[in-house]
């Protein structure tokens, strides 16, 4: 059974513009927990209690230690067949943008190139006081939050709840969405703003939007196709089908 319907199949050319938005779901099959449910808990804390600037100001060591724990998970993880299928899709097309809410570098490690990291990267850091960058990998054994030469605490370069997205990145993501012929929304609950706006903008501007998610989301009833299942299984099928239309 083909996944794609005729309306989408008609749009498929090497020159079509494709934009993709990924969320934590695509990395869950690599063993990186999403923030939903009990699997996101660390000690007794929910991610929302740790991933915000007030928590870091009040408890820098606790928040740092949680990131060190998450870095351990990310470093052990490998890109899965979903990440690899997106790399293959990029190789086939002239115009491809990968917008990710993930901070785990798995798209980079899978070989994707045109990546917009909306929420930062867990391996990068900067000083919370003077903003000096610390992009070296911190040894996992360092569980006390390190200090900058200015005396400020070094924090992960992550966009926390309540913070602005890095300058320019969101705008570029919106541009990619606005010009897309085909837009894929993968493994995201479509509730974390402003990222959640991106697929809707693509739709308004005429893109065919396909969602890949085992669960119903805010986007499901609006998109052209809502594919229920894990991205590790569905994306390779989807990319193989796109390839047959290109040949
Ligand atoms: P989210 O809001 O993007 O929700 C995760 C979504 O993935 C859910 O809708 C779920 O149904 C879906 N999903 C679960 N398994 C899937 C699979 N196998 N294939 C496809 N979809 C699947 O993410 P969140 O966990 O609520 O996180 C909120 C914020 O924290 C986002 O910025 C998120 O990207 C970030 N975060 C990033 C990572 C990471 O870098 N890997 C991990 C956790 C959270
Ligand atoms: Zn400093």
**Which pLDDT belongs to residue 100?**
98
The residue contributing the CA closest to ligand 1 atom 17 is 230
**Which pLDDT belongs to residue 245?**
93
Which protein residues touch ligand 1 with a CB less than 6 Å away? Answer: 23-29, 32, 34-36, 101-104, 119, 187-189, 191-192, 212-215, 217, 230-231
Q: Which atom of ligand 1 lies closest to the CA of 188?
A: 3
Q: How do residues 48-103 score in pLDDT, each as one tens digit?
A: 999 999 999 999 999 999 999 999 999 999 999 999 999 999 999 999 999 999 99
**Which pLDDT belongs to residue 193?**
87
Q: How do residues 1-37 score in pLDDT, each as one tens digit?
A: 889 999 999 999 999 999 999 999 999 999 999 988 7
Q: In angstroms, what is the span from residue 125 Cα to ligand 2's centroid? A: 11
- For 4, other C-beta atoms within 10 Å of its C-beta total 22
Q: Which atom of ligand 1 lies closest to the CA of 35?
A: 25
**Which pLDDT belongs to residue 16?**
97
The residue contributing the CA closest to ligand 1 atom 9 is 189
**Which pLDDT belongs to residue 192?**
86
The structure's pTM equals: 0.96
Asked if residue 190 has pLDDT above 90, the reply is: no
Say how far apart CA 196 and CA 37 lie, in whole Å. Answer: 20
**Which pLDDT belongs to residue 131?**
97
- Ligand positioned closest to the Cα atom of 73: 1
The residue contributing the CA closest to ligand 1 atom 7 is 25
Q: How do residues 133-185 score in pLDDT, each as one tens digit?
A: 998 899 999 999 999 999 999 999 999 999 999 889 999 999 999 999 999 99
**Which pLDDT belongs to residue 79?**
98
Q: In angstroms, what is the span from residue 126 Cα to ligand 1's centroid? A: 25
Ligand 1 pocket test, pick from 20, 21, 23, 189 with the greatest ligand atom count within 8 Å of Cβ, gives 23
Q: How do residues 100-115 score in pLDDT, each as one tens digit?
A: 999 999 999 999 999 9
Of 29, 122, 11, nearest to 70 by C-alpha is 122
Q: In angstroms, what is the span from residue 64 Cα to ligand 1's centroid? A: 21
Q: Would you state the torsion angle of the CA atoms of residues 159, 155, 57, 76, taken in this order, to the nearest 10 degrees? A: 80
> Residue 58 class from Cβ within 10 Å (0-12 exposed, 13-18 middle, 19+ buried)?
exposed
The residue contributing the CA closest to ligand 1 atom 19 is 230
**Which pLDDT belongs to residue 139?**
94
Annotated catalytic residues are 119
Asked if residue 199 has pLDDT above 80, the reply is: yes
Please say whether the beta carbons of 241 and 2 come within 8 A: yes
- Ligand positioned closest to the Cα atom of 185: 1
Ligand 1 pocket test, pick from 22, 35, 99, 157 with the greatest ligand atom count within 8 Å of Cβ, gives 35
**Which pLDDT belongs to residue 227?**
97
Asked if residue 39 has pLDDT above 90, the reply is: no
Q: Which residues contact 95 (CB under 8 A, 6 or more apart)?
A: 15, 16, 17, 18
Asked if residue 46 has pLDDT above 90, the reply is: yes
Q: Which atom of ligand 1 lies closest to the CA of 212?
A: 20
């Amino acid at each position: 059974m083909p996944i794609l319907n005729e309306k989408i199949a008609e749009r498929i050319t090497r020159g079509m513009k494709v934009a993709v938005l990924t969320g934590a779901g695509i990395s869950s099959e690599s063993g990186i927990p999403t923030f939903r449910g009990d699997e996101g808990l660390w000690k007794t804390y929910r991610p929302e209690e740790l991933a915000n600037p007030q928590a870091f100001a009040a408890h820098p060591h606790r928040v740092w230690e949680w990131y060190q724990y998450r870095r351990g998970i990310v470093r052990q993880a490998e890109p899965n067949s979903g990440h690899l299928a997106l790399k293959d899709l990029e190789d086939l097309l002239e115009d491809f943008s990968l917008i990710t809410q993930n901070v785990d570098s798995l798209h980079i490690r899978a070989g994707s190139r045109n990546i917009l990291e909306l929420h930062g990267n867990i391996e990068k850091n900067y000083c919370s006081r003077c903003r000096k960058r610390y992009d070296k990998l911190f040894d996992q054994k360092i569980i006390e939050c390190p200090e900058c030469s200015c005396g400020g605490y070094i924090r992960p370069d992550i966009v926390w709840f309540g913070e602005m997205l890095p300058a320019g990145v969101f705008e570029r993501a919106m541009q990619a969405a606005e010009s897309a012929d085909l837009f894929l929304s993968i493994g995201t609950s479509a509730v974390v703003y402003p990222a959640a706006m991106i697929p809707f903008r693509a739709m308004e501007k005429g893109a065919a939007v396909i969602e890949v998610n085992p669960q119903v989301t805010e986007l499901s009833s609006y998109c052209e196709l809502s594919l229920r299942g894990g991205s590790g299984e569905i994306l390779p099928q989807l990319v193989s089908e796109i390839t047959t239309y290109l040949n």
